[in-house]
Amino acid sequence: MKLLPFILPILNILHYQHCLIMSDIQDLRVRDLACALESSSSFKGEILSAKDGEAFSSLNTPWGIQEAEQPAVVLVPTSAQDVALAVKSAHSKGLTLAIRSGGLMKSQTKGVSLNLKHLDAYSISSDKSQVTLGPGQTWQTVYEKMRDEKFTVLGGRVSFVGVGGYVGGGGLSYLVGQHGLGSDSIIDAEVVLADGRIVHAASDPELLFGLKGAASNFGVITSVTLKTFPKPPVAWSGRLVFPAERFVEIAGAIHNYTSTNEDGRAGILFGSLAPPPDFQPITLVVPVWFGSAAEGEKHFDWLLKLGPLVNQMMEMSYEDLGKLQDSGATPAGVLAAWQTSVVPRVSDEKTAAAALQWQGELVAKDPRFGGTVLLFEPFVKNVFADVDDSTVAWPHKGEHMTVIGLMVLSPDPTLAGVPEALRDGVSRIAAAAPAGVHPQYPNYAFLHGEKAEDYYGANVQKLRLIKKRLDPTNFFKGTVPLA
């Protein structure tokens, strides 16, 4: 014991020398956190900063260039225990964490980024009714793991989307017409709370409720267990291209179809966009039919008779359907911002015309808005009719629903007025929609400063009470903040 006063200064000097290695980290709190985790025998993950070159920078490419804040340090945990240590350490030092699963949405920070890429668990229950997934893998990885199975999960429609963010914010899959949202299928999740506790949502009904659309407000999902569904043996899908000037006409035809269609084997997306390389405006329609080409052609005969300029429809596996939109998806490194309007009925010509007018006025005002995309997705009639909104964070019960996505794309990060433009588009659609609007879709909440009431409607007060219980200091800010 008499030696203790002499040993402690030596240990402090050694710790100081170790921290000099991380001298590129300017924020002393962040440096202290990194040093503490590096010195800990319990933290098994990676700790990266700018000095690590490509290993560091490769983890920080944002999807939207306006989110291109460079973190001071990236923590790459290997387990829920690593995540718990990182969360507890950051919380104690008054730091926030940017949680990155696939990195498609708001996951950048100037402080500490928590990259979940090593959390890639995959296991199937003995009765094959459930699959447990790590949040850090993409849907392409999951689909390939499940390629030889006769069942699947309600995964993403773009293969490079990460599992964690997708299921925690709603989750629109190609099977939504038969089985609902990806978040509806959550059975359980392992979650690290703000105080570092590792809990299971199945043991806390309120947390499970919150994870189904508002997960980023409550903790870090380190694994999620999803219900499985029979995998369609074949899908028929592709792209149909029509002239840009026929957008409202096509919207009207799709309105007439989806107003009565109750066959969950069918789905449809359509939009107005100007894709690369020539950026010429087109009307794009993506029908989906789970069955043979002959069946699909019969079901969508009304659409094919409208005379598309380009017809790329073909049969494919469910796994390949999950990659269909990858080539047309937005590459990382451009200004990319989403906003949605969700209407509680099938979108009609009036709604489509209002959205198209908004798009045209933007481009006329500033040609850099030329990459603006309108994306309409009307769902099968009654697919959400039996949803109990008291069991899911995002209320989506209704006979009809159409998610209308507004996306601004531009290679110029200096393009001003994007948030204002998107919110103006949403308000115009709300004014044009005959039956008003549903709460907006959380997974497309790309703007900062969003109001929780606009996304969670009547559920917002319940969510805030759960937030107060599980995260009273508001450590997790959430994609759509509750506090």
Q: With 90 as the cut, is the pLDDT of residue 242 above it?
A: yes
Mean pLDDT of the chain: 89
Are 439 and 296 members of one domain?
yes
Structural domain including 37 reads 8-115
User: In the prediction, which pLDDT does 105 show?
Assistant: 61
Domain annotation covers residue 482 = no
User: In the prediction, which pLDDT does 145 show?
Assistant: 96
Are 12 and 50 members of one domain?
yes
Q: Do 39 and 18 touch, CB atoms closer than 8 A?
A: yes
Are 242 and 225 members of one domain?
no
Summarize the confidence of residues 72-97 as an average pLDDT. 95
User: In the prediction, which pLDDT does 67 show?
Assistant: 59
The alpha helices in 108-153, defined as continuous H runs, are 139-145
Are 463 and 385 members of one domain?
no
User: In the prediction, which pLDDT does 316 show?
Assistant: 97
Are 299 and 206 members of one domain?
no
pLDDT digits (tens, 9 = 90+) for 366-405: 998 988 999 999 988 888 888 999 999 999 998 888 899 9
CA dihedral 116, 216, 183, 427 (to 10 degrees): -130
User: In the prediction, which pLDDT does 23 show?
Assistant: 66
Report the DSSP beta bridge partners of residue 122: 133
CA atoms within 13 A on the CB side of 300: 30
Are 258 and 406 members of one domain?
yes
pLDDT digits (tens, 9 = 90+) for 190-224: 999 999 999 999 999 999 999 999 999 999 999 99
C-alpha Rg value of the chain to the nearest Å = 24
Are 408 and 278 members of one domain?
yes
Among 115, 130, 155, identify where a domain stops.
Answer: 115
C-alpha of 301 from chain center: 33
Count other Cβ atoms within 10 Å, centred on residue 465. Answer: 12
Average the pLDDT over each of 62-66, 109-113, 189-193, 337-341 and give the range with the smallest value: 62-66
Query: For residue 482, which phi and psi values (nearest 5 degrees)?
Result: -95, -20
User: In the prediction, which pLDDT does 438 show?
Assistant: 83
What is the three-class DSSP state of 417?
coil
DSSP 285: E
Are 87 and 155 members of one domain?
no
Q: Do 165 and 139 touch, CB atoms closer than 8 A?
A: no
Domain annotation covers residue 12 = yes
Categorize the per-residue pLDDT at 70 as very low, low, confident or very high, splitting at 50, 70 and 90: confident
Domain annotation covers residue 436 = yes
Q: Do 186 and 225 touch, CB atoms closer than 8 A?
A: yes
Are 162 and 98 members of one domain?
no
Report the DSSP beta bridge partners of residue 112: 73, 97
User: In the prediction, which pLDDT does 8 show?
Assistant: 46
Summarize the confidence of residues 300-329 as an average pLDDT. 92
Categorize the per-residue pLDDT at 13 as very low, low, confident or very high, splitting at 50, 70 and 90: very low
Q: How many domains does the chain have?
A: 3
Rounded Cα gap, residues 248 and 253, in angstroms: 9
Tell me, what CATH number does 43's domain have? Answer: 3.30.43.10
Tell me, what CATH number does 385's domain have? Answer: 3.40.462.20
DSSP β-ladder status, 151-152 and 220-227:
unpaired
DSSP β-ladder status, 235-237 and 310-311:
unpaired
Domain annotation covers residue 2 = no
User: In the prediction, which pLDDT does 11 show?
Assistant: 46
More confident call, 395 vs 446: 395
Q: Do 157 and 173 touch, CB atoms closer than 8 A?
A: yes
User: In the prediction, which pLDDT does 330 show?
Assistant: 57
Are 227 and 242 members of one domain?
no
Are 59 and 100 members of one domain?
yes
Summarize the confidence of residues 308-329 as an average pLDDT. 90
pLDDT digits (tens, 9 = 90+) for 356-367: 999 999 999 999
Among 92, 115, 138, identify where a domain stops.
Answer: 115
Q: Do 49 and 34 touch, CB atoms closer than 8 A?
A: yes
Helix, strand, coil % in the chain, rounded to nearest 5? 40, 20, 40
Are 288 and 318 members of one domain?
yes
Categorize the per-residue pLDDT at 20 as very low, low, confident or very high, splitting at 50, 70 and 90: low
Domain annotation covers residue 51 = yes
What is the three-class DSSP state of 374?
strand
Summarize the confidence of residues 91-119 as an average pLDDT. 85
pTM for the complete prediction? 0.91
Rounded Cα gap, residues 432 and 437, in angstroms: 10
